């Protein structure tokens, strides 16, 4: 009997935790998008007002933003400072791929970030600003949508996890 | 850091691989790297032009070497500008950009105009990378003509393009600024570096050694720069490269009246060439320039062929190899 109760508790616990994790994934992704948006706003500021070289700008962003997003910029800045003749697009791609495991970005987000990398390094101020604005727009829209959907999803995953746990327990009993 | 490594770090893409294969000794002597989309990759070394093969071999200019593409040029620009082409917007309007190390990159492409003024350049299809080589001590031979009787004389350096006048001017500035025992004590020197070639400023940092008492106005029009220095930095000597415009001479008049010594360069093959230009001739006839140095690239770059005094008498000639 005791083993049964332990099993029930385990199923309930793991199911609720899975539900909580799934609902939090939206929140974590929204946080990553927000951090990336913040990084892009800093980058835009550095380019427009200070004409700061990209490696220096990325290094500064990595320190200001920190976390997984900061790590992307730190890796890119490091590669640029090494000056091995790679173009900016390749460096940005390498940084994204290296750090993507630490982020909650989806393949759609990654595609947008890769597209942004194609415009890095050779554009003038106006064009570079447009390219950053385009990415900021995507990041803002996605983040807003996720935050709106987030509350509903939290309730949904919460209820679903309990239901799944109950169902599993009934079936197993 | 050795020259080869420095140059390779500045050039990206396929061209980096080509240069990687080149003999290390060549890199000390490369003066220009010419990259034109669809045309052979060329370098200029010791006054001679060579085509470079994909394996980094030097060939004469009748042969087809490695052919760069537009994409190669875009990648090179990215790396040269440290992935920050946007930071060079003002310089691109002038048709060149100066990179770390003081090297100057000439650009050719489609000019975009706005209200009749150059806004930017796009579709850049040709680059001329002029490598800045500091030759410390190259002014040793002429310093005694510039500093006579314990004071710096107004000096004009006459030289055809690419014969080392900027290199000579830079070393004169350095030596006058630092001072040289037995020749002169240090002077406060103001440099108007319109094209960023003398001091080679990059992100506000002077890349070439122009002396400890030298103030540099980077990328500033010469006429305005001379007057700005006169008003703000109290220089004893002002150095400018390639004077020639009418407004330059108006500014020169102001600095001469202020008792500041001028060291300048001008394009020309000989003193006779300069005499044909009315404004310059007027300055020569007034005896403004106490020292006139003529450079030539006939036998070797930076060869000093003649030095004249204020009365336009030759005080040194290379042909005789002695003081006249």
Domains of chain B: 3-130 (3.30.450), 140-323 (3.40.50.300)
B182-to-B43, B281, B292 alpha-carbon distances in Å: 41, 33, 22
Q: Which chain B residues are Cβ-neighbours of A84 within 8 angstroms?
A: 9
A124 touching B (Cβ < 8 Å): yes
A88 touching B (Cβ < 8 Å): yes
Q: Distance (Å) from the C-alpha of residue A162 to the closest C-alpha of chain B?
A: 52
Residue where the block lists tokens 């320039």: B289
pLDDT value at residue B173: 96
Extract the tokens encoding A68: 């997984």
Q: What is the pTM of this model?
A: 0.71
Radius of gyration of chain A (CA): 21
Measure the CA–CA gap between A161 and A24, rounded to whole angstroms.
13
Residues of chain B with pLDDT under 70: 1-3, 319-324
Q: Which chain B residues are Cβ-neighbours of A88 within 8 angstroms?
A: 78, 83
Query: Would you call A121 and B12 a contact, using CB atoms and an 8 Å cutoff?
Result: no
pLDDT value at residue A165: 82
Query: Would you call B9 and A121 a contact, using CB atoms and an 8 Å cutoff?
Result: no
Q: Residue B280 — φ and ψ, nearest 5°?
A: -65, -40
Measure the CA–CA gap between B3 and B181, rounded to whole angstroms.
31
Interface test with B, best of A89, A124, A126 (most B CBs within 10 A): A124
Query: Would you call B83 and A123 a contact, using CB atoms and an 8 Å cutoff?
Result: no
Q: Distance (Å) from the C-alpha of residue A143 to the closest C-alpha of chain B?
A: 29
Interface test with A, best of B73, B76, B84 (most A CBs within 10 A): B84
Q: Which residue of B has its CA nearest to A80?
A: B82
Q: Which chain B residues are Cβ-neighbours of A53 within 8 angstroms?
A: 82-84, 87, 203
pLDDT value at residue B320: 46
pLDDT value at residue B323: 39
Residues whose CB is less than 8 angstroms from the CB of residue A16 and which lie 6 or more positions away in sequence, other chains included: A158, A161, A162, A165
Query: Would you call A85 and B92 a contact, using CB atoms and an 8 Å cutoff?
Result: no
pLDDT value at residue B134: 83
Query: Would you call A53 and B87 a contact, using CB atoms and an 8 Å cutoff?
Result: yes
- Asked whether the ipTM of the predicted complex exceeds the cut of 0.85, the reply is no
Q: How far is CA B89 from the centre of its chain?
A: 21
Task: Say if strands B155-159 and B291-296 run parallel, antiparallel, or are unpaired.
Answer: parallel
Measure the CA–CA gap between B37 and B289, rounded to whole angstroms.
45
Within 10 angstroms of residue B105's Cβ, the number of other Cβ atoms is 24
Residues of chain A with pLDDT under 50: none
Interface test with B, best of A46, A77, A85 (most B CBs within 10 A): A85
pLDDT value at residue A152: 76
pLDDT value at residue A142: 94
pLDDT value at residue A10: 86
pLDDT value at residue B319: 58
Q: Distance (Å) from the C-alpha of residue B139 to the closest C-alpha of chain A?
A: 34
pLDDT value at residue B14: 86
pLDDT value at residue A107: 94
């Amino acid at each position: 009997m005791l083993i049964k109760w332990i099993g029930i508790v385990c199923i309930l616990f793991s199911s609720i935790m899975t539900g909580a994790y799934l609902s939090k994934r939206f929140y974590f992704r929204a946080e990553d998008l927000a951090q990336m948006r913040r990084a892009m706003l800093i980058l835009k500021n550095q380019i427009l007002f200070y004409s700061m070289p990209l490696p220096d700008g990325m290094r500064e962003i990595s320190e200001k933003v920190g976390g997984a997003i900061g790590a992307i910029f730190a890796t890119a800045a490091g590669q640029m400072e090494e000056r091995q003749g790679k173009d900016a697009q390749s460096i940005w791609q390498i940084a994204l791929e290296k750090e993507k495991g630490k982020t909650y970005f989806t393949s759609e987000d990654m595609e947008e970030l890769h597209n942004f990398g194609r415009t890095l390094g050779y554009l003038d101020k106006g064009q570079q600003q447009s390219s950053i604005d385009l990415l900021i727009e995507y990041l803002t829209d996605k983040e807003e949508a996720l935050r709106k959907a987030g509350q509903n999803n939290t309730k949904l995953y919460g209820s679903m996890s309990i239901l799944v746990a109950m169902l599993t327990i009934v079936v197993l009993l | 850091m050795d020259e080869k490594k420095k140059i390779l770090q500045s050039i990206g893409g396929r061209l980096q691989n080509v240069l990687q294969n080149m003999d290390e000794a060549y890199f000390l002597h490369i003066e220009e790297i010419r990259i034109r989309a669809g045309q052979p990759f060329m370098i200029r070394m010791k006054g001679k032009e060579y085509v470079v093969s994909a394996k980094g071999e030097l060939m004469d200019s009748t042969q087809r070497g490695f052919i760069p593409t537009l994409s190669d040029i875009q990648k090179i620009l990215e790396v040269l500008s440290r992935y920050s082409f946007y930071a060079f917007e003002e310089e691109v309007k002038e048709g060149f950009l100066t990179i770390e190390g003081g090297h100057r990159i000439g650009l050719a492409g489609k000019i975009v105009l706005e209200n009749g003024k150059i806004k930017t350049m796009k579709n850049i299809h040709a680059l001329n990378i002029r490598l800045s080589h500091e030759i410390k001590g190259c002014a040793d031979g002429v310093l005694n003509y510039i500093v006579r009787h314990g004071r710096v004389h107004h000096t004009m350096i006459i030289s055809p393009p690419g014969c080392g006048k900027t290199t000579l001017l830079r070393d004169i500035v350095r030596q006058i600024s630092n001072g040289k025992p037995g020749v002169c004590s240090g002077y406060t020197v103001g440099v108007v570096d319109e094209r960023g070639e003398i001091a080679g400023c990059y992100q506000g940092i002077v890349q070439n050694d122009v002396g400890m008492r030298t103030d540099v106005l980077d990328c500033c029009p010469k006429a305005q720069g001379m007057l700005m220095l006169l008003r703000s930095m109290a220089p004893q000597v002002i150095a400018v490269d390639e004077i020639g415009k009418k407004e330059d001479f108006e500014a020169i008049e102001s600095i001469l009246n202020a008792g500041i010594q001028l060291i300048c360069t001008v394009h020309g093959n000989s003193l006779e060439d300069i005499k044909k230009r009315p404004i310059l001739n007027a300055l020569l006839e007034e005896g403004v320039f106490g020292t006139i140095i003529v450079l030539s690239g006939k036998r070797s770059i930076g060869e000093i062929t003649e030095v004249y005094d204020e009365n336009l008498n030759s005080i040194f000639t290379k042909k005789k190899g002695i003081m006249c």
